[in-house]
Structure 1
Amino acid sequence: MKICFATSSGGHLTHLVLLEKWYKNHDRFWVTFNKEDAKTVLADEKKFFCYYPTNRSIKNLVKNSILAFRLILKERPDVIISTGAGVAVPFFYIGKLFGCKTIYIEVYDRINIPTLTGKLVYPITNKFIVQWESQLKFYKNATLIGQIV
């Protein structure tokens, strides 16, 4: 199985890195921001840098959609996993066009309100995961796993 991790840097990236015990034996690549934290944490990982800021930037949405199209064609991931934020949207939607499975993990710090990215990808995500029971009221078909530590 080949995994594409598409995520913002910072806390979003940290949440995915915490899953290392699960993904360490899988072929994988990362798509994230070209920032120091990401370069440091992913120093030994295969990575590609996307365009940011992603928050409500139509220009970067278009650029990241083109990037997603090219990378998915080139790398052929079986599954795309994300904790957000905006970079997940083009990768999930374009990935679905190419038959990729998608897994979205709603961020830990959104206890009482859903994220914009979560709302945008929920309708097309194969497995939607939440870390708080209160998040289930926004995502009826989500799977509650508790805190990622």
Structure 2
Amino acid sequence: MGGGLAVKRVLFVCSSGGHLDQLLALVPAPEGVEVAVATFLKPDAVAKLEGFRVHGLHWPTNRSVTALFKNLRIALRVLRTERPDIIVSSGAAGAVPFFWVGRLLFRTRNVFIECIDRLDNPTLTARLVRPVTHTFVAQWPEQLVEFPRRTEVSPSR
């Protein structure tokens, strides 16, 4: 990371399934960097998270104000405990309270990776976290054209 930021703690926040798989592709982390994960504690996710500090999120989150407030409480507790330097998310809605609380109360750097299958416009989560996100990672040239501070990556061939 540029700008003299010494990264020691990273928090992945995502829903289980493909979002989690996408973030787990980023590990192992560099030596000296601890990774914790906040996700839905569904059986398929739990099996993949052995060796990580894991925090459960409330679901379903799809446009649920109730889930948003429950995950806001979880975000406050987890961020107070983990004190991450960076929060990384590939979606979905569980990321919203973590990005906002992290940025406003804990001064985290926030990185959002847009879904690989979203080609024509940003996800709702991307739009909701935009004001508090430092870097957007887009996997297709068409993604997030109107979003500043984006980084385009392409899969290894």
With the shorter chain as reference, the TM-score category is over 0.9
Amino acid of the structure 2 residue aligned with 1:12: H
Whole-Å separation in 1 of the counterparts to 2:144 and 2:108: 25
| Change in CA separation of 1:2 and 1:148 when aligned onto 2, cut-off 3 Å | farther
Q: Between Structure 1 and Structure 2, how many residues are aligned?
A: 148
Q: TM-score, normalised by structure 2?
A: 0.89
Aligned counterpart, 1:12: 19
Aligned counterpart, 2:155: 147
Structure 1 vs Structure 2 CA RMSD: 1.5
Q: C-alpha offsets along residues 70-101 of structure 1, whole Å, 9 cap, x if unaligned? A: 11111111110000000000000000021111
Match of 1:134 among 127, 130, 142: 142
Amino acid of the structure 2 residue aligned with 1:137: V
| Change in CA separation of 1:148 and 1:36 when aligned onto 2, cut-off 3 Å | farther
Match of 2:83 among 71, 76, 84: 76
Q: Which has the higher helix share?
A: 1
Q: TM-score, normalised by structure 1?
A: 0.93
Instruction: Point out where structure 1 has 5 or more consecutive residues left out of the alignment.
Output: none
Report the alpha carbon displacement of residue 24 of structure 1 after superposing the two structures with TM: 5.3
Counterpart check, 1:63 vs 2:70: yes
Instruction: Point out where structure 2 has 5 or more consecutive residues left out of the alignment.
Output: 1-7
Match of 2:114 among 106, 110, 113: 106
Whole-Å separation in 2 of the counterparts to 1:24 and 1:90: 27
Whole-Å separation in 2 of the counterparts to 1:148 and 1:130: 14
| Change in CA separation of 1:148 and 1:48 when aligned onto 2, cut-off 3 Å | farther
